[in-house]
Structure 1
Amino acid sequence: MVCTGARVLTTLRFLAKGNYQSEVGDIHGISTSSASRIIHRVCSAINSRLTNIQFPRGEDLTAVKEGFYQIATFPNVIGAIDGTLVPIQGLSGDDEPNFLCRKGYHAINVQAVVGHKLRFTNVVVRWPGSTHDAFILQQSALYRHMDTNLNAGWLLGDSGYPLKVWLITPLANPSNLQEQRFNKAHCKTRNIVERAFGVLKQRFRCLHKTGGALSYRPERSTNIIEACFRLHNLAVKKNIQLNLDQPLPILHNDHINQQQNIAAQTLRNQLIQRF
C-alpha cells in the first residue's frame, strides 16, 4: 500500500489527538490492520530520515551553556535529563510485570535530555515502565559518552540519578541559605526538561494518559514514541505554535538514588559556593 501525503498527515493528526488505527481506517475506508501498517510505516520513515536528535558537540556546546546560564546563572550546563512514563495497553505473559510502573499502569520509561530551547538532544526509548531512571542511564551510550568527555559540561538531574562529576543533582536536605539558593537555581534550570515533556505530550496526546494508551506491543509503541520526539524537535525548529490546554501532569518513576561519589560531592560543594 502506498502511503500518500494525505494519509500521512491524517495519521499524524490522529496520533496527536490520541486516537488510533480504527479512526484512521474509518476516514480512509480501509481496514484497521491496513491503518496500523500505515501508522508504523510513517513512523519508521520519520525515524530513519529525520535525524534531528543530536547531542551538542563542539561549538554548539558554548551556545547551549550560555542559554542555560541565562535561566538561573547555573554554569556549564549542557542538558537537563529525566525520564517520563508513556502508557501502553495492558500486557500479558512473562514480561507483563516489567512494564507495570510505580503508578500502577503499563508503560515505557523514556529517558531524554533536553537543551535550553526545549529541543531533545538525546532520547532512549526501549525500557519497561518498572525500570529505574538511574539504571537506564547507566546502560546508555550517553553514560559512556559523558564518562569519557568529563570536560564537556554538566547534565542536571533530579535525586533519582547518581551524583557524578558530569551529572549534578540537588541536595536532599539543604541546611543553609546558600544551599537553598543552589537548589532553587538547580530546580529552575532543570525544570526545562519538565516543560519539554509537557509540550511534547500536549502535541501528541497518544503519549499521555488523557489520550488513552498506545494500543500496540512494546516494540511498535517505541517506534511511535520516537517519531513523536523527532516531530516535536521539528515543530520547535519551525516555531510551530502549540494550542495549550490545561497543563498535563507528567509522571515519572519516583526514586531516590543513594549512591555516593566523593569527587562529585566535592565538585558540588564547590559549585554551591557560587550561590
Structure 2
Amino acid sequence: MDKRHWQGWRKCRQRHGRRLRRIVGDRMNPFTAMSNAEFVDRFRLRKESVNSIIQKSQEQLPVANDRRGCPVPPNLQVLIAIRCMATGSHQIAIGDCYYVSQTCVSLYLASVSRAIASLSEQFIKFPAGNNLFKTVQAFYNIARMPGVIGSIDCTHVAILRPTCNNPEVFQCRKGFFPINVQAVCGPALLFCNLVSRWPGSVHDSRIFENSIICATLEEVLMPGHLLGDSGYPCRKYLLTPVLNPRDQQEETYNRSHITTRNTIQRAFGVLKRRFAYLGSTIRTKLNTTKAIIVSSCVLHNIAIMTRVLLPEEVEEEMDDLHINPNIGQINMQGRIKGNKSSETTFECCLYSELLLVVHPFNWTRRVIYVH
C-alpha cells in the first residue's frame, strides 16, 4: 500500500468514526521502540553512534542463534553487549529482556567487545598537528601548566580469581584480584593511550616503563610531557609533584600540577559510571575482560566526541537540597543573620559539588571551566 492509498484509508476510517489501530513498536528493535533519551539512558550512546558501530563491526561478528535456533542479527548482538556493559546487570537479566539465554549473552559480549576493541586505533590515539596545540592550550587554561599533552595514571578493574598458572600475581595489596589499567587522557577526558594487560600486583611505574608511550617519549617522537603522581619517576617527559616543597614556587607548582592532573581521575570516574560493568567484579574470561575494558574506553571516547552527558542521577539530591529546611532555608521568623549566612554558604558549596558530579568534563577540581 503506497502513501496515497494509506492516506485515503485513514480518512475513510476517520469519516466513519472508527478507532484506528494502535501501532506497537517492536521491543526487539530499540531504534524504533525507544525515544532518543530512553536510548541514551540504556545504551549510553546515541542511535547514530551505535548504528555506526554496527556497520563497522558486523563483518567481524559470527553467525549466532538464540535458544530457539533462530538467527540473531549483528545489530541485536551489538545492542545486547553494549546494554550489558552500560548497565552492569547480570547476563541472565539482559537475556530475559531480549529473549536469549545467558550463554548467548556471554558469547555476544565476548565477540562484540573484541570487534569494538579492534577499533581502538581509530578512537584511542594522541592528537596530532593543530589538535595537539589545542590540547596543550586547554591543559594550560586549567591551572597554567605549560607543555602538557596528557595526564597518566592507573586504575584497578576487579575480576574473579583467574584460572591461570599463577593467579596470585593478580592479587593487589588490597586483597582482591584486579587488572591494573594504565591510561592517558586529555583535557576533555578523552583517552589517548591505554594499556590493559598487566596484573593488579604490578606497580604503575613498571607498566609505564614497558609501554610504547614511554619509548615514544624517550625518543622525542612527540613534543611535550605527561603529568603523573608520585608513584612515577620524575623525568623530562614525565613531571611528578614535589614531595617536600620548600618555597612558594614549589607549592605553586604542586597546586597547578595536582589540579591539571586531576583530569585522569575524573576520566576514570566517568568511565566507570558510564559503563557500570567496569565498576563491579567482572566474571568473564581473562582475555574477554581485557577486550571489555578496551571496548568500554572506545565507547567512552565516542560518547565524549558526540557530547553525550551522563544520566542526571542527582536530580533527587537536588530536590532534597531545596526541601531540607536545615540547608540554606530563608528564615522569615527573624533568626540570627550569621546563622542564615552560614547556612546559605553551605548550600552554595554543596550545590557546586553537585554541579561537579553532573558535568564532570566541564569542571575541574577547583571548579574552573576547561574550554
TM-score range (shorter-chain normalised) is 0.7 to 0.9
State the alpha-carbon separation in 2 of the partners of residues 155 and 196 from structure 1.
Answer: 15
After the TM superposition, which of the residue ranges 131-140 and 40-49 deviates more from structure 2? Answer: 40-49
Q: Partner letter of residue 45 of structure 1? A: A
Matched, 1:65 2:133: no
State the Cα RMSD in Å.
Answer: 1.7
The corresponding residue for 1:222 is 290
Deviations 1:210-245, CA, capped at 9 Å, x for gaps: xx3110122110000100000000000000010255
Q: Partner letter of residue 197 of structure 1? A: F
State the alpha-carbon separation in 1 of the partners of residues 268 and 93 from structure 2.
Answer: 26
Please, which runs of 5 or more residues in structure 1 have no aligned partner? 248-275
State the alpha-carbon separation in 1 of the partners of residues 286 and 77 from structure 2.
Answer: 24
Please, which runs of 5 or more residues in structure 2 have no aligned partner? 1-63, 65-71, 315-356, 358-371
After the TM superposition, which of the residue ranges 227-236 and 44-53 deviates more from structure 2? Answer: 44-53
The corresponding residue for 2:82 is 12
State the alpha-carbon separation in 1 of the partners of residues 248 and 73 from structure 2.
Answer: 59
State the alpha-carbon separation in 2 of the partners of residues 154 and 225 from structure 1.
Answer: 26
Q: Secondary structure at the match of 1:10?
A: helix
The corresponding residue for 2:69 is none
**Higher gyration radius (CA):** 2
State the alpha-carbon separation in 2 of the partners of residues 179 and 62 from structure 1.
Answer: 26
Q: Secondary structure at the match of 1:160?
A: coil
Cα shift at 1:61: 1.8
What is the aligned counterpart of 1:147 among 218, 225, 235? 218
Cα shift at 1:99: 0.8
Deviations 1:42-72, CA, capped at 9 Å, x for gaps: 1112122352000123332211100100000
Do the aligned partners of residues 117 and 217 (structure 1) sit closer, same or farther apart at CA in structure 2, a change above 3 Å counting?
A: same
Matched, 1:119 2:225: no
State the alpha-carbon separation in 2 of the partners of residues 47 and 173 from structure 1.
Answer: 42
What is the aligned counterpart of 1:238 among 306, 313, 322? 306
Deviations 1:148-173, CA, capped at 9 Å, x for gaps: 11760010000010111000000111
Identity of aligned residues (%): 40
TM-score, length basis structure 1? 0.84
Matched, 1:166 2:237: yes
The corresponding residue for 1:109 is 180
State the alpha-carbon separation in 2 of the partners of residues 198 and 99 from structure 1.
Answer: 22
TM-score, length basis structure 2? 0.63
Native 8 Å contact 2:224 2:237 kept in 1: yes
The corresponding residue for 1:98 is 169
Native 8 Å contact 1:98 1:128 kept in 2: yes
Q: Secondary structure at the match of 2:202?
A: coil
What is the aligned counterpart of 2:98 among 3, 28, 51? 28
**What does 1:172-251 correspond to in 2, within 5 Å?**
172-208=243-279, 212-245=280-313
Where relative contact order (Cα < 8 A, 6+ residues apart) is larger, the structure is 1
Q: Secondary structure at the match of 1:109?
A: strand
Native 8 Å contact 1:11 1:24 kept in 2: no
State the alpha-carbon separation in 1 of the partners of residues 141 and 114 from structure 2.
Answer: 37
Q: Partner letter of residue 96 of structure 2? A: D
Q: Partner letter of residue 272 of structure 2? A: K
The corresponding residue for 1:252 is none
State the alpha-carbon separation in 1 of the partners of residues 73 and 292 from structure 2.
Answer: 16
How many equivalent residue pairs? Answer: 244
Q: Secondary structure at the match of 1:232?
A: helix
Q: Partner letter of residue 296 of structure 2? A: C
The corresponding residue for 1:253 is none
Cα shift at 1:30: 2.5
State the alpha-carbon separation in 2 of the partners of residues 120 and 4 from structure 1.
Answer: 27
